Amino acid sequence: MKITAYGVSAEERRIFEKWQATHPDVTLQLLPDWLAADNVALAAGSLGISAFQTGQYDAALFEKMARLQIPVLAIRNVGTDNIDFPAAAQAGIQISNVPSYSPAGIAEYVVALALQLLRRLPEVTTLVADDQLLTARGLTGRELNRQTVGVVGFGHIGQLTAKLFHQMGARVLAYDAYYHGAEPTWLRLMPDLPSLLAESNLVTLHVPGVPANQHLLNATNLALLPAEALVINTARGNLIDTPALIAALKKGALGGAAIDTFEREDQIEPAVQQQRPIIDALYRELLALPNVLVTPHIAYHTNVAVENMVQDSLANLLAYASNGQLQTPVTH
C-alpha cells in the first residue's frame, strides 16, 4: 500500500519516518510541496493523501484525484474552510481532518498573547529596541484577574481557552451558536454575540472561518466592545473585518489586538514561502500599529501538536485501508 504526504516539513519528516519503521508494508512518499492539481499525479497509485497547508483544495484537485483513483484526502489540521466540499463530493473523494491535535496548546498560546497585550509588551519591545526605556517604564499594564474575557466559539479550543482564563482569575463569558451542553459553574454562556461583546474587555475567537462567519467582528460589532478592549484572533483571518479593526485601533476605541490569522493570508503566502518582503498594504498597516501583535499562523505549532497531526492523519488512512471508514471524516 502506498500513501503520499504533501506539505511535509523537516520536523514532520522525522515523525513520518519513525512511523514508517513500524509500518514496513506501507510505501510512504514524503513531499515538501503543498498539494494541488498540478502535482497530485506524483501520488498516482496511492491509497490516499495526507496533506497540510492553508492553501485551497479545489475542484481541479479533486477531479484529478478521482481520475487517478485516489479516494481519500486526510488533512493533518483542524480547519476545513479551504476545502471545496461540494467538488470533493462530486468527485467521490472522502476527507478527514485531525479535529483535536492539541487544543490545549492553542489555548496556552491565546493566554500568552493576552498577557502580552495586557502588559503592553508589543509597545515595550519597540521602545526598548529604540533606546526609549524611560517611556517604556511609563506604560501601565492591566491585570488578567480583573478582566472579563469573552470566548466566541465554545468547541475544542474555546472550552480549554475559557478554562485557562478562568483558572487565572478572569471572569469568563462564552458564546456558541450551536452549543447545547451544560453551562459550567465557572462560566456564563451568553445568548448572542452582541451581549458577549458588550461585556468583554478581551475577546478571543474560536469559530471556523466558514463563509457564514465572514467578518463576524465588523465595525458594528467592534463598536459594542467596552473602551480599550483587546481582540485576539487565532482562528481564521476572515472572521475580522481588518480595515474596521485598524480603524478602531487607530482611534483608540480598542486597546490592542493579537492577530495570528490574518485576513489576507492567501495573498501574502507567496511572499512568505519565498521569504520576500510582504508588501500587502493592509498587512503593513496592521504591523505598524504599536499595540498590535502579529504572528504567522503558529498558534498550533507545538511538538505535541505536530506529532498528533501526523499520527492521526495516518491513522485515518489506515482505518480507511482496513475497513473503508475514516476515523474522523469531515463533510463541511
Identity of the residue, 64 or 76, whose beta carbon is nearer to ligand NAD in the bound complex: 76
In the residue annotation, 228 being an active-site residue is answered as no
> Residue 29 Cβ, how far from ligand NAD at the closest point, in Å?
26
- Which residue type is seen at 70? I
| Interface residue with ligand COI, options 70, 78, 258, 292 (CB under 6 A) | 78
Size of the site for ligand COI (CB under 6 A): 6
Catalytic residue among 166, 215, 297, 301: 297
| Interface residue with ligand COI, options 2, 13, 142, 297 (CB under 6 A) | 297
Q: Is 300 in the site for ligand COI (CB under 6 A)?
A: yes
- Which listed range, 10-18, 77-85, 87-95, 179-187, lies at the site for ligand COI (CB under 6 A)? 77-85
With CA atoms as reference, report the closest residue to 254 among 213, 189, 216, 200. 200
Q: Is 76 in the site for ligand NAD (CB under 6 A)?
A: no
Q: Is 241 in the site for ligand NAD (CB under 6 A)?
A: no
Identity of the residue, 19 or 52, whose beta carbon is nearer to ligand NAD in the bound complex: 52
Can you tell me which residue has the cell 493592509? 282
With CA atoms as reference, report the closest residue to 205 among 180, 171, 230, 170. 230
- Which residue type is seen at 170? A
Catalytic residue among 123, 236, 263, 307: 236
Question: In this structure, what C-alpha cell is assigned to residue 47?
Answer: 491509497
Q: Is 155 in the site for ligand NAD (CB under 6 A)?
A: yes
Identity of the residue, 42 or 294, whose beta carbon is nearer to ligand NAD in the bound complex: 294
List of residues 6+ apart from 164 with CB closer than 8 A = 107, 108, 110, 111
In the residue annotation, 297 being an active-site residue is answered as yes
- Give the one entry of ligand COI, ligand NAD, none that residue 54 binds, where binding means its C-beta sits below a cut-off of 5 to 8 angstroms depending on kind: ligand COI
- Which listed range, 57-65, 74-82, 108-116, 184-192, lies at the site for ligand COI (CB under 6 A)? 74-82
Instruction: Give CA separation, 278 vs 257, 281, 282, in Å.
Output: 20, 9, 10
> Residue 44 Cβ, how far from ligand NAD at the closest point, in Å?
31
- Which residue type is seen at 137? R
| Interface residue with ligand COI, options 77, 94, 204, 221 (CB under 6 A) | 77
In the residue annotation, 143 being an active-site residue is answered as no
- Which listed range, 73-81, 107-115, 123-131, 264-272, lies at the site for ligand COI (CB under 6 A)? 73-81
Identity of the residue, 79 or 226, whose beta carbon is nearer to ligand COI in the bound complex: 79
> Residue 265 Cβ, how far from ligand COI at the closest point, in Å?
10
| Interface residue with ligand COI, options 4, 46, 50, 54 (CB under 6 A) | 54
> Residue 55 Cβ, how far from ligand COI at the closest point, in Å?
10
Question: In this structure, what C-alpha cell is assigned to residue 260?
Answer: 495570528
> Residue 183 Cβ, how far from ligand COI at the closest point, in Å?
27
Please give the order of strands across the beta sheet that includes 188-189: 188-189, 171-175, 148-152, 202-205, 229-233, 254-259, 292-294
Torsion sign over Cα 7, 10, 12, 16: positive
Catalytic site residues? 236, 265, 297
Binding interface with ligand COI (CB under 6 A): 54, 77-79, 297, 300
Binding interface with ligand NAD (CB under 6 A): 78-79, 103, 106, 152-158, 175-179, 206-209, 213, 216, 234-236, 260-261, 297, 299-300
